Amino acid sequence: MTAKYHYSLSLCILTLLALFLSLSSFAQKATIEGTVTEDDGPAAFANVFVLGTTIGTTTDFDGKYQFVVEPGTHKVVCSFVGYNPDTIQVSVGAGEVKTLDIRITQNAQQLKEFAVTGTRKTDTEAAVLMDIRKSMQVVSAVSSEMIEKTQDSDASAVARRVPGVTIIGNNFIMIRGLNPRYNNVMLHDVFAPSMEEDVKSFAFDIVPSQVIDRMMIYKSPAAELPGDFAGGVVKLYTKSIPDEEFTTFSMGTTFREGSSFQRFLQPERSGLHQLGINDGFNDLPDGFPRDIRRVTNTQGEGAIDQVGRSLRNNWLPEEVGSGMDRSFAFARASKFKIFGKEAGNITSVTYNNAREIFDVERNDFNAYDFINNQSVPIYEFDDQQYNHHIRAGIISNFAVQLSPDHIIEFKNLLSVSNTTQYINRRGYDLEFNYAPNNHSFDQMYRGVYSGQLTGRHFWDEDRTRLNWTLGYGYAYRDQPDYRRYRADVDTTTGEETL
């Protein structure tokens, strides 16, 4: 009992001693309090603090504040968003309560006018999904945002990712198993010019993936789609004003078994042939008769011979090394201003150079002999075929955004290609009893240009829209030189006779 009493007494004394020391310490402090006001009354939530310290507080709804400081001279700062900060020097003594009322004034400044503009995005996954949902047709789509997640280098590789689509030779597209004649390709809502004169063909590989905005593949008919398709319609759109500037360059090589690093035979060509351009090296000379059949020796002795000598009579192929296939791609995007309006340009250049060597067996047979149970051959030929393919393409798009709802674009596509072929045919014709050593030289130049001036306009919060296009397309096919000659080989002596 006595021990517990002494313990309680000690605890009470210690508590009183701690309280006394705390009151003594507080008695040495000073207090600053007051009210912060502005033109319309009390300033609630204004910051009041001692300069250079963390001592301070925030005013209440009535603009009142209070905090404790050490005795001495202090600089009290009052600040509030939109008002001029005020600094007041005040001196307080130990235990003193200092009243410091502060009036703050508005910081009136003329802000510069600015406009917030937005750009309608069409190359994102969300934008493409929205187009699919709004469409009443069966449609698949690929956006630029999706393409960036892949390693696809051109539109040909992109189209191969779409279910039901097959690209043959980078030019011909099959949709749902139907051949190219049943499918259409549209570039910016205009029919894409064909790379072939007698079949629908578009060079997908000349469009780098970096400049593709989106690709839509429609597999069911609609009023706004061409009516001459049964498989599908591919709509390809390229970018206008880029989101950011960029420059890319890529280079690739391909090894072809049986073709790369081999002896390669080809017709004589000029230097510009490497760019897929015909500079007239193998064109017919000026004044050459339009119909050689009308030329006779009655027009003059040796008239026919003179016409023949006017041609470039080189009947031997050049021998070079085939090397490896090569491809290059360059793309540049830039943004700039035209009369204060946002504008941009995207330009890409592609180049492909490939050589192929084929050993082709050609056989033909008479009607099957059912009595002797055998096929009677007509001929057995072996063709050594050397093909050289060159393709160069340029895409250049310019765009000006007149306002967030109005944009004008000028889009250009140019593609040129050249195919050179040399064939040496040997073997035996059993029906006519001769062994040929035939030679064929051929060069084919193709080119296509597509230019479009387009506009996109939106009104009434996108409920009314107008899209228009003025397009021009040009395609050509030039076969300046196709030569062949036949030599018969004496199988006994090996001598050849033209």
Predicted pLDDT of residue 26: 46
**351 φ, ψ to 5°?**
-150, 135
Separation CA 22–CA 14 (nearest Å): 12
Predicted pLDDT of residue 438: 93
3-state secondary structure of 129: helix
Predicted pLDDT of residue 477: 83
Q: Which top CATH class is 25-103?
A: mainly beta
Measured in whole angstroms, the distance separating CA 483 from the mean position of its chain's CA atoms is 41
Per DSSP, the residues of 461-490 read TTTEEEEEEEEEEEEEEEEEEEEEE--EE-
Separation CA 43–CA 62 (nearest Å): 7
Burial of 253 from C-beta contacts in 10 A (0-12 / 13-18 / 19+): exposed
Cβ–Cβ under 8 Å, residues 107 and 84: yes
Cβ–Cβ under 8 Å, residues 30 and 71: yes
Residue ranges in the chain whose pLDDT is less than 50: 1-5, 7, 20-26
Separation CA 474–CA 471 (nearest Å): 10
Predicted pLDDT of residue 324: 94
What are the pLDDT digits (tens) for 39-82?
888 999 999 999 989 899 999 999 999 999 989 899 999 999 88
Separation CA 266–CA 441 (nearest Å): 8
Tokens 């000379």, residue? 285
H or E element: which one contains 45?
none
**Mode of pairing for the β-strands spanning 183-187 and 232-238:** parallel
Query: 467 has which bridge partners?
Result: 456
125-238 fold: Ferric Hydroxamate Uptake Protein; Chain A, domain 1 (2.170.130)
Extents of the domains making up the chain: 25-103, 125-238, 251-292+314-497
